[in-house]
Amino acid sequence: MRNPFRSEAEAFSFVIVAALVFLVVALVGAAFGGWWALAAFLVLAVGVGVWMRSEPKVREPAVWSHRPHERRRILVIANETVAGEALRSEIVQRAEDGAEVLVVCPALNSPWRHWASDEDHARDEAHGRLEASLSALAAAGVQARGEIGDADPLQAIEDCCRTFDPDELIISTHPPGRSNWLERGFIEVVRAAYDLPIAHVVVDLEAEAALRAG
């Protein structure tokens, strides 16, 4: 949900929106009376509410200039699926030529904890998953580094692009229907923001667990 007072610029836009809304309410009130003004206000308030609930689809791409490296650099973004078999196979296959691999696990947090800047629990969980993933990659012969990223996966990518400067991206998600990232159009947003080869790996943890069990 948009916060109309997130920054001074957004608060200023909200002043303009409020002025327009109440201008319409005042005109309706002057023409038809107070109850019609109330009705107009309610309709417009619902409209503003719907607008505030909608998230901006594409945000500005990071200011970042990419240079190719001697040793290819692969940035992997995955959260709960970071220890998935499908992702591990994809990384092993792509890093066959000795590419440098950085696995980033965004510390996904609940909105309330995020607002309270209480991210220790989220980072602990992300840390556990990341360790398991790095161990599995090491066992498969891939020397990868790991980092816990920002709770916002797009921000996590942006942070890593500044420090790691990857040549390609691998994004791992749950299957459609179970993935919040896919629901939010995360892959499309990243593709729009970054001029890099981007591989999307779908990891079905339940199917992998069932396969192992049975």
Partner 1 sequence: MAVDAHAAHPPVANKSSRVDARLLGIYIFIASEVMLFGSFFTAYFFARVVVGPKEYATWPPEPFELPVYLALLNTIILMTSSFTMHWALQSIKRNNRAGLIAGLLLTFLLGSTFLLIQAREYTRLGFSPSDLAFGSTFYGLTGLHGMHVFIGLNLLAYALIRAVRGHYGPAPHDHLGVEIPGIYWHFVDVMWIVVYTTVYVV
Q: What's the CA gap between 14 and 34, in Å, rounded?
A: 24
Q: What's the CA gap between 210 and 121, in Å, rounded?
A: 28
Kindly tell me which of 18 and 211 has the beta carbon lying closer to partner 1: 18
Kindly state the tokens that stand for 24. 């319409």
* 144 within 8 A of 92, measured Cβ to Cβ: no
Which residues of this chain interact with partner 1, rule CB under 8 A?
A: 3, 5, 7-9, 11-12, 14-15, 18-19, 22, 25-26, 29-30, 34, 37, 107, 114-115, 117, 119-120, 123-124, 127, 130-131, 134-135, 144-152, 155, 158-159
User: At closest approach, how far in Å is the CB of 143 from partner 1?
Assistant: 9
Q: Residue 64: what residue type?
A: W
Kindly tell me which of 123 and 178 has the beta carbon lying closer to partner 1: 123
Scored b (16 or more CB within 10 A) or e, 154-172 reads bebbbbbbeebebbebbbb
Kindly tell me which of 9 and 213 has the beta carbon lying closer to partner 1: 9
Beta pairing, strands 168-173 & 144-149 = unpaired
Kindly tell me which of 140 and 209 has the beta carbon lying closer to partner 1: 140
Going by C-beta distance under 8 Å and a sequence separation of 6 or more, which residues neighbour residue 21? 41, 44, 45, 48
Instruction: Give CA angle at 57 (109, 11), nearest 5°.
Output: 80
User: At closest approach, how far in Å is the CB of 41 from partner 1?
Assistant: 9
Kindly tell me which of 93 and 163 has the beta carbon lying closer to partner 1: 163
User: At closest approach, how far in Å is the CB of 106 from partner 1?
Assistant: 10
User: At closest approach, how far in Å is the CB of 194 from partner 1?
Assistant: 17
Kindly state the tokens that stand for 192. 């729009």
User: At closest approach, how far in Å is the CB of 95 from partner 1?
Assistant: 15
User: At closest approach, how far in Å is the CB of 167 from partner 1?
Assistant: 19
Burial of 138 (0-12, 13-18, 19+ CB in 10 A): exposed
Kindly tell me which of 22 and 198 has the beta carbon lying closer to partner 1: 22
